[in-house]
A and B are shown apart, each in its own frame.
Chain A
Amino acid sequence: MVPNQAHAATSNTSALHPPGKQPPSYTRSATAPNLGPHSHASNRTLLAPEDAIYQGSPPQRQAPAVKKAQNELRMTAGLGVPRGRSKTRHRSSSRKRKVTWSKLLWVKQSYPDNYTDQTTFLEHLQRNPRLQPYDFWPLVADSTVIVQHVCSVVIFIVCFIGIVQDRISSVAVVGWGSFATFLGWVLWDMWIGQDDIVPKPLPHQATPSPPYYSTVSAASSTSNLGLGLHTSSTHPLPGRHSHSHSASASSLHSAASQTNSQQSPRLAPNFPGVTTSTLSPRTSLRLATAKSALLIYFTLLGLSPILKSLTRSTSPDSIWAMSFLLFTINIFFFDYKTPEPSSGNKNIPASLSTNAALMASTVLASRLPSTGQVFSLTLFSIEVFGLFPVFRRYAKRRTWRGHVTLTTLLVLGASGGVGLCLGHGGDGEGILDFPWKAGLTGVFVGVVSTGVAMGGCSWWLIGLQKYKNEIHGPWDPARPIIRRHWDDY
């Protein structure tokens, strides 16, 4: 039945191939999956399908020279077979393979339909083509962004608890918050001024110019709470700006109307007549910022009585659950990435995150008893969730040292606040009692656990890298490269 019984003892398949030019076809021993350890045949140099699932397989791409050398080796191995055997092999070979197999369908080929050419089969397969191995310390450094955001959420919740429990006055919270926001704005304004003075030639160093656009879009912001969102809506703008290939910061001196012309036309009606004013652009922008800040201040003041009774008919349990859920959404959907200068992103996840946080804080604020407290907490939430992320992002790009300092301060503040909320101290119990005991314990525990979490998660992520097995090939849908984006209109 089987013609080749004479070779049953030979197990080295490469030695069996006739010394022809044709690449050997797959043999059963080399390809049959799940049949024991020898299915990963040692003399097999190319990729077989089980490699896609087998973890420890070697990389499949080889230099052509290596392949050639191996082909030559194979040929010499074939020649090494005793002549008589190779003759019988020729005679018993049932197929005449005079024409080289080619990967075409329109040619009628003298090969069977299930012929598998070993040199071309899966040659276009790519595994993990965009794999970038992570390093430990850069990963830890990058995780500071997440730590910052989680800490600011924690600080907000701590402030709410403090207000509810009458430990701190709401006016103090919003006062210090506004003071910090003002400080941040001044710092920002100073940085913008420095950027204007020192023009940077490289596009990827060009810093954004948020105030130029922020106030403008704030005035007509379609977002629910203008000031909280108007600065975050500036993120796409640096991208657009450098997209026009004139991204040197010196061009920021130009009047807003010039940048206006670079924008898509949809934004054009939103621009007020900045150019008609006699003031310098920066001064007018500062004025506009102050105007919109005042506008939002008074809007909130007017709205807070309504907000106060917003959820009166809802039970507190639902509120806690809902705000927890919303803050979780905020943390998970927050846009942690540093915006690339060239990316014209639309920030949908970021706006989802910001909206979730503002809704959570509104819901929480509606639990507070007095109008003043409601107003304070809502304003504070706008500062924390709307403005602070923008500042953090900008600060990270400006000064790394400042970023680390800010992270440290946030971690200290958040852990101390949690400690104060949970623990008690200064109530005269025990020998080791002193007024700030709970806070200091919180700081200690918080700092240690943050450090462990940052290091541990980074290490874990690096450890998970070896499970990455991304397969790409000609069967994937191609990504069309289109120069003009029609959907921008």
Chain B
Amino acid sequence: MAHPRSFSKTSMAANHNHNYRHRRGSTRTMPYSIAMVSDFFFPAPGGVESHIYQLSTKLIDRGHKVIVITHAYDGRTGVRYLTNGLKVYHVPFFVIYRASTFPTVFSFFPIFRNIILREEIEIVHGHASLSSFCHEAILHARTMGKRTVFTDHSLFGFADAGSILTNKLLKFTLSDVDHVICVSHTCKENTVLRASLDPLMVSVIPNAVVAENFRPLHHPSYGTEFGNHPLPQLIGPHDTITIVVISRLFYNKGTDLLVAAIPRILASHPNVRFIIAGSGPKAIDLEQMLERNVLQDRVEMLGPVRHEEVRDVMVRGHIYLHPSLTEAFGTVIVEAASCGLYVVCTQVGGIPEVLPAHMTVFAKPEEDDLVAATGRAIAALRANKVRTEKFHDQVKMMYSWTDVAKRTERVYDGISGSLSEADFYGYEAADAASWSATRGRAGVHSFALIDRLKRYYGCGIWAGKLFCLCVVIDYLIFMFLEFWAPRDAIDIARNWPKKPRENLMAGDDSSYK
């Protein structure tokens, strides 16, 4: 729990952090060639997509070579280059549901091998547990003797049939992954349980926001059309307070709570307005509620907004209300805080870890508590107790993609052995004998087929044998491909010209765009 003095603590911690990283940074020897693999990438909108893009851009800024492998979208096939020389392979594949490809265990292998060899990839980094592309890529990469990392962006339960199937699949892939990255500590706990992983193999690296894209309406460091000295926005007792809600209107985003809470909030606070952006199956409930209570003049429904427009909607309000029922990280509340909004959110999933207490009011996922929390937030704003104008700079210090890229780089260091295992895993030397059997030198997974089979075999009575079969077949396909399409017959792609070194050092968040 944060308290008013928590910021001094933060800076102290940041110093430690800096020393720590600096020492580590010297151990890195060479830039890596990384392939990000996921079903989800531009042009599709979404959190995973922008995560991959931002992380790749920042890694390129740090001197690495990054390519993205995804499936072909409508109007996007072949090879594309994005800003900063980020190369994107759109592999033609059959899409079944919401941009997820059909899970064929082996059919991706030939073209994947070709890309990996052509681009001289060393590390394969898969994203999103619902992407079959990513799972296949991790399996094939291990067969080809590449290091693999997996980033999990979502939470799954253990109860329903769909989750059980996904968890089994995840267990299969993650039996032989080198490292896993989760976006929050709750997500880490979940992933460790779902895939029976060793917790030390799982790092927590949060998402980040591009703070420049989410700046408040008036901010000294950007300048405004009204001059450089914005008036402090004091809210009087009778000024209108606008509450913004931006979310897809689905059940798990808590739209039912919203529908129940809005009339009560509006009834007890006369000078309050709502702006709701987003679409989804629950939009009809929301509209029915508006009509039943005749609230059309106090609640504005904007419909779907593009990601670029989110900031423009957010800066129209004072409070951001986030009634979600499950959330791994909750990037949107960081974006809202960055825009200088006071955040009211439900205390679910990873949300309590994301923002300090002075920026948020937490509510239980109950109608009554949500109404009460919103009331507290309105009262605090009216009393001008909340310094929302400072939020932007604070958020900018907390989350940046450069930091995410640095921390991801340390994971790459760890799995490729340039960071010693004692440093990376923090293990006690006494235990080395007990576990190095399945790990080779420097704390990395051994690539020997028999060791891999041992790891897969532990997945379950039937599943273990099935997984072993898959791995063996994968290995045979690999052998066949080596014979059929020899390595020396595959051309090596030319790299995008790298930035000069000094430019690289200055590469920070501000250089983006």
Q: Which of B59-67, B86-94, B95-103, B365-373 contacts A (4 or more CB under 8 A)?
A: B365-373
Q: Which of B35-43, B73-81, B190-198 contacts A (4 or more CB under 8 A)?
A: B190-198
Contact of B434 among A3, A26, A38, A475 (CB under 8 A): A38
Question: Closest residue of chain A to B251, judged by CB?
Answer: A477
Given A31-B198, A105-B204, does the pair A480, B420 have CB atoms closer than 8 Å?
no
Contact present for B432 and A8 (CB under 8 Å): yes
**Which residues between 80 and 107 of chain A lie within 8 Å of chain B, taking CB atoms?**
94-96, 98-99, 103-107
Question: Closest residue of chain B to A29, judged by CB?
Answer: B431
Q: Tell me whether B14 is interfacial, beta carbon within 8 Å.
A: yes
Q: Tell me whether A7 is interfacial, beta carbon within 8 Å.
A: yes
**Which residues between 306 and 330 of chain B lie within 8 Å of chain A, taking CB atoms?**
325-326, 328-329
Most A CB contacts (10 A, CB to CB) among B200, B350, B410 go to B200
Contact with B along A99-121 (1 / 0, CB 8 A): 10001111111101111100001
Contact present for A28 and B189 (CB under 8 Å): no
Q: How far is the CA of A266 from the CA of B399 in the complex (A)?
A: 53
Q: Tell me whether B187 is interfacial, beta carbon within 8 Å.
A: yes
Contact with B along A5-47 (1 / 0, CB 8 A): 1011111010010000000011111011111001000000000
Residues of B within 8 A of A16 (CB): 428, 430
Distance between B296 CB and nearest chain A CB, rounded to angstroms? 17
Q: Tell me whether B252 is interfacial, beta carbon within 8 Å.
A: yes
Given A5-B429, A11-B430, does the pair A475, B190 have CB atoms closer than 8 Å?
yes
Contact of A32 among B186, B193, B435 (CB under 8 A): B435
**Which residues between 441 and 489 of chain A lie within 8 Å of chain B, taking CB atoms?**
470-484, 486, 489
Q: Tell me whether A293 is interfacial, beta carbon within 8 Å.
A: no
The interface size bin for chain B is 35 or more
Contact of A475 among B189, B353, B364 (CB under 8 A): B189
Question: Closest residue of chain A to B257, judged by CB?
Answer: A480
Q: Tell me whether B6 is interfacial, beta carbon within 8 Å.
A: yes
Contact of B438 among A4, A7, A35, A113 (CB under 8 A): A35
Q: Tell me whether A53 is interfacial, beta carbon within 8 Å.
A: yes
Contact present for B429 and A7 (CB under 8 Å): yes
Contact present for B326 and A32 (CB under 8 Å): no
Contact present for B157 and A28 (CB under 8 Å): no
Residues of A within 8 A of B292 (CB): 489
Q: Tell me whether B16 is interfacial, beta carbon within 8 Å.
A: yes
Residues of B within 8 A of A99 (CB): 9, 12-13, 16
Q: Is the interface of A mostly helix, strand, loop or mixed?
A: loop
Residues of B within 8 A of A471 (CB): 158, 193
Distance between A469 CB and nearest chain B CB, rounded to angstroms? 9
Question: Closest residue of chain B to A7, judged by CB?
Answer: B430
Contact present for B422 and A4 (CB under 8 Å): yes
Q: Is the interface of B mostly helix, strand, loop or mixed?
A: helix
Q: Tell me whether B285 is interfacial, beta carbon within 8 Å.
A: yes
Contact of A49 among B20, B197, B205, B420 (CB under 8 A): B197
Distance between A478 CB and nearest chain B CB, rounded to angstroms? 4
Question: Closest residue of chain B to A99, judged by CB?
Answer: B13
Q: Tell me whether A1 is interfacial, beta carbon within 8 Å.
A: yes
Question: Closest residue of chain A to B23, judged by CB?
Answer: A94
Q: Tell me whether A77 is interfacial, beta carbon within 8 Å.
A: no
Residues of B within 8 A of A8 (CB): 429-430, 432-433
Q: Tell me whether A52 is interfacial, beta carbon within 8 Å.
A: yes
Question: Closest residue of chain A to B285, judged by CB?
Answer: A486
**Which residues between 360 and 395 of chain B lie within 8 Å of chain A, taking CB atoms?**
364-368
Distance between B175 CB and nearest chain A CB, rounded to angstroms? 9
Contact present for A95 and B198 (CB under 8 Å): no
Q: Tell me whether B169 is interfacial, beta carbon within 8 Å.
A: no
Q: How far is the CA of A461 from the CA of B429 in the complex (A)?
A: 48
Most B CB contacts (10 A, CB to CB) among A26, A99, A106, A479 go to A106
Q: How far is the CA of A224 from the CA of B197 in the complex (A)?
A: 55
Q: How far is the CA of A484 from the CA of B288 in the complex (A)?
A: 14
Q: Tell me whether B254 is interfacial, beta carbon within 8 Å.
A: yes
Residues of B within 8 A of A115 (CB): 426
Q: How far is the CA of A16 from the CA of B428 in the complex (A)?
A: 9
Question: Closest residue of chain A to B263, judged by CB?
Answer: A484
Contact with B along A419-431 (1 / 0, CB 8 A): 0000000000000
Contact present for B365 and A105 (CB under 8 Å): no
Given A35-B438, A106-B398, A110-B20, does the pair A116, B254 have CB atoms closer than 8 Å?
no
**Which residues between 416 and 449 of chain B lie within 8 Å of chain A, taking CB atoms?**
420-435, 437-438
**Which residues between 169 and 202 of chain B lie within 8 Å of chain A, taking CB atoms?**
179, 181, 184-187, 189-190, 192-193, 196-202
Contact present for B422 and A114 (CB under 8 Å): no
Q: How far is the CA of A25 from the CA of B426 in the complex (A)?
A: 8
Q: How far is the CA of A398 from the CA of B437 in the complex (A)?
A: 67
Distance between A119 CB and nearest chain B CB, rounded to angstroms? 13
Residues of A within 8 A of B437 (CB): 35
Contact present for A482 and B190 (CB under 8 Å): no
Q: Tell me whether A2 is interfacial, beta carbon within 8 Å.
A: yes
Distance between A96 CB and nearest chain B CB, rounded to angstroms? 7
Residues of A within 8 A of B325 (CB): 477-480
**Which residues between 206 and 229 of chain B lie within 8 Å of chain A, taking CB atoms?**
206
Q: Tell me whether A274 is interfacial, beta carbon within 8 Å.
A: no
Residues of A within 8 A of B184 (CB): 105
Given A3-B422, A35-B437, A486-B259, does the pair A476, B200 have CB atoms closer than 8 Å?
no
Question: Closest residue of chain B to A481, judged by CB?
Answer: B366
Contact of B326 among A10, A28, A109, A475 (CB under 8 A): A475
Contact present for A125 and B189 (CB under 8 Å): yes
Residues of B within 8 A of A10 (CB): 430
For the complex of A and B, 7 pairs with smallest distance between CB atoms: A110-B16, A4-B429, A113-B203, A478-B365, A481-B366, A475-B155, A29-B431
7 additional A-B pairs beyond A482-B257, A486-B288, beta carbons within 8 Å, are A28-B432, A34-B455, A48-B199, A104-B2, A107-B2, A107-B9, A122-B193
Question: CB within 8 Å of B: which residues of A?
Answer: 1-5, 7-11, 13, 16, 25-29, 31-35, 38, 48-50, 52-53, 94-96, 98-99, 103-110, 112-116, 121-122, 124-125, 470-484, 486, 489
A-B residue pairs in contact (CB < 8 Å), sample of 15: A2-B432, A3-B429, A8-B429, A10-B430, A25-B426, A27-B427, A29-B428, A35-B438, A49-B196, A105-B354, A106-B356, A110-B13, A112-B426, A114-B199, A114-B200
Question: CB within 8 Å of A: which residues of B?
Answer: 2, 6, 9-10, 12-14, 16-17, 20, 155-159, 179, 181, 184-187, 189-190, 192-193, 196-206, 252, 254, 256-257, 259-260, 285, 288-289, 292, 325-326, 328-329, 346, 348-350, 353-356, 364-368, 398-399, 407, 410-411, 420-435, 437-438, 455, 458
